[in-house]
A and B are shown apart, each in its own frame.
Chain A
Amino acid sequence: MKTLITILLLTGSCLIQAQNPTGKEILEKIDKNMASKSTISTSKMIIHGARQIRTIEAKSWGIGDEKSFTEYLAPAREKGTKMLKLEDELWIYSPGSDRIIKISGHMLKQSLMGSDLSYEDMMDNVKLLEDYDAVVIGSELIDERDCWIVELQAKTAEVNYQIRKIWVDKVRYIPLKEELYAKSGKLLKRTELSNITRIGNRWYPKKIVFKDMLKKGDGTEFIIDEIEFDKEIDEYIFTKASLK
């Protein structure tokens, strides 16, 4: 009996090994699960500052990774601010000054409304499969979900982060945690994704916590209240004319 169990375990282990996906396959599956033609969402960004907590509400429309339009709904100070992203370009309309400003160059490195995110982080169109070599380096439990740990090493020098680590749910193929490292190996940023919800035929995180690891504080929470996938969106919304 013992021998049988041992044989079964060994065979099972070998089968599991054989079934272990490669880093590339995991990334492809994440893309398949997360990617959509379009999204319409309402969300809250909770910024935990040193002295106060600010909550910013917004509604966003997006087509793939290339086009997105966000209108801030609350608080009153930010209400009416609109942001348009078209591929690598970003414009902001501020109702206070009634002006459209293009955010470019080093301005992209500025914090997005005082959060732990920079405009650049928001713009991050990084093609993980193209820019990184992905290797599965282990597995770990996160929120009682078994995850692959995928380490990504940059193939080229022209990337923001040389090393990334992603914890991917083995069943749902959704990232539950991501860590971004400096060239020196120092941990710079951590993103934790939770409240994974079934929306249509996909799993999607409704809460994301961004944290600058060099900074004190509780980071910035991004909570998706509502999200719809693959809805038709009028192309007009992704033009500068819609900012005013």
Chain B
Amino acid sequence: MIAIKLAYRNLVGAGLRTWLNVIVLAFVLFMIIWHYGILDGWNEQANRDMKAWEVGNGQYWQENYDPYDFFTLEESHAKIPEALKKATNDGIVTPILINQGSIYPEGRIQSMLLKGITPDQNVIVLPSEELNVESEEIPVIIGRRMAKSCKLQEGDVTTIRWRDINGTFDATEVKIVKVFNCDVPNVDQGQIWIHIEKLQEMMQAYGEATMFIIGEDFEMNETVSGWEYKDFDFLMTEMNEMMKMKKVGGSFMYVILMLLAMLAIFDTQVLSIFRRQKEIGTYIAMGMTRAQVVSLFTVEGAMHAILAVIFIGIFGTPLLIWLMSIGMTMPAGSDDMGIAIAETIYPVYGAGLIIGTSLLIFVITLIVSYLPARKISKMKPTDAIKGKIQ
């Protein structure tokens, strides 16, 4: 306790030198909390949006379906299985039929996926109800990325070409009845959404689907022959892996920042021990053991981290809360990279993040403070009290 009191007095007495160290440490702490908060916020938003727009609570894939290999689409459709018929009729799961095709906006050819969905489904938030409109051409909906890449807008009519399951070419005009805005490129880029029954007719694949998206309240333990169940965690694997990579990537910067901050603490400690030899000698002469003096200097150094946490608590908290309220606007085009990312990301600061980061900085500071303080244990008290350089 005496060591803590003494350490605090010594630190405050050092004035600007202490506060500079504290500010540097506080800056590092702030940067780590803010950046990890952004990544956690992004992860949370991506999980929420992907669940709402794309993956639902899991999916059933036709056994040949591989979303990374479009060449499998030709064989990856089958009749809706009996086991899923009731859930489909109850609207708990929604079937999706997928086919490859080409779109010809303004005479340019572009490959795309045709995705059939039930207009009245409520499993995902895709505005499929827009497909219910009466139109001379086939009504379709597309995302804003697809609209941008094809230079299409609501009301435009364009030609699409596809093959039915026999391989015969067909083509027709479609009308863009809705351009929807969503943060999940997987339901937007390079695809158009169409009434599933229309697509089944176009493909001559009546009553067939490529996959099912599972909604809330779906419970089924039996396996469905010819269909593979993919749970939510599996469907989010790619996103979670990417977030892990981002965190690892970001940590390199913090290692450098931490090194700089720790260098400052280390230098301060070395300077203190060098300049305060008489004081060290006096402590020992007055009965303190070498270990107690080492502890005093270590605590003094580590107290920089405690002051930094208090500093962040007073000045950083309002700033972090303000940043959480305004979010971080992502640069234009970020969402074209194929990952779920909102225009603005709102950071999320969990207790684990704040406590963990503060503890990490404290422990590192403690170690860095202890290393130069070890020299005290080798000092001769008589020489120290005379101020002799050792």
A binds B: yes
Flag the segment in A3-11, A71-79, A152-160 that touches B.
A152-160
Q: Say yes or no for B171: interface residue by CB 8 A criterion.
A: yes
Give residues in B with beta carbon < 8 Å to A.
70-71, 73-74, 100, 102, 104, 106-109, 159, 161, 164, 166-172, 204
Report, as a range, how many residues of chain A touch the other chain. 20 to 34
Whether the pair B161, A182 counts as a contact (CB closer than 8 A) is yes
Report if A188-B169 is in contact (Cβ < 8 Å); known contacts: A106-B70, A106-B74. Answer: yes
Cα distance A215–B109 in the bound complex, in angstroms: 6
Nearest chain A CB to B111 CB, angstrom units: 9
Nearest chain B CB to A132 CB, angstrom units: 13
List, in ascending order, chain A residues with CB within 8 A of B70's CB. Answer: 106
Q: Say yes or no for A161: interface residue by CB 8 A criterion.
A: yes
List, in ascending order, chain A residues with CB within 8 A of B73's CB. Answer: 106
List, in ascending order, chain B residues with CB within 8 A of A186's CB. Answer: 159, 170-172
Cα distance A162–B163 in the bound complex, in angstroms: 11
List, in ascending order, chain B residues with CB within 8 A of A32's CB. Answer: none
B-contacting residues, A130-178, CB 8 Å: 154, 157-162
Whether the pair A157, B161 counts as a contact (CB closer than 8 A) is no
Q: Say yes or no for A107: interface residue by CB 8 A criterion.
A: yes
Q: Say yes or no for A65: interface residue by CB 8 A criterion.
A: no
Residue of B73, B104, B169 contacting most chain A CB atoms (<10 Å): B169
List, in ascending order, chain B residues with CB within 8 A of A162's CB. Answer: 168-170
A161-B168, A182-B171, A212-B109 provided; 6 other pairs, C-beta below 8 A?
A50-B108, A106-B73, A159-B166, A159-B167, A188-B161, A214-B102
Whether the pair B172, A157 counts as a contact (CB closer than 8 A) is no
Give residues in A with beta carbon < 8 Å to B.
50, 105-107, 154, 157-162, 180, 182-184, 186, 188, 212, 214-217
List, in ascending order, chain B residues with CB within 8 A of A106's CB. Answer: 70-71, 73-74, 100
Interface of A is mostly: loop
Nearest chain B CB to A218 CB, angstrom units: 12
Nearest chain B CB to A184 CB, angstrom units: 5
Whether the pair A183, B106 counts as a contact (CB closer than 8 A) is no
Nearest chain B CB to A164 CB, angstrom units: 11
Residue of B100, B161, B168 contacting most chain A CB atoms (<10 Å): B168
Report if A214-B171 is in contact (Cβ < 8 Å); known contacts: A158-B166, A182-B161. Answer: yes
List, in ascending order, chain B residues with CB within 8 A of A157's CB. Answer: 164, 166, 168, 204
Nearest chain B CB to A123 CB, angstrom units: 13
Cα distance A183–B164 in the bound complex, in angstroms: 10
Residue of A nearest to B100 (CB): A106
Report if A188-B166 is in contact (Cβ < 8 Å); known contacts: A105-B71, A106-B70, A212-B109. Answer: no
List, in ascending order, chain A residues with CB within 8 A of B161's CB. Answer: 182, 188, 214
Whether the pair A107, B168 counts as a contact (CB closer than 8 A) is no
List, in ascending order, chain A residues with CB within 8 A of B164's CB. Answer: 157, 183
Cα distance A180–B168 in the bound complex, in angstroms: 11
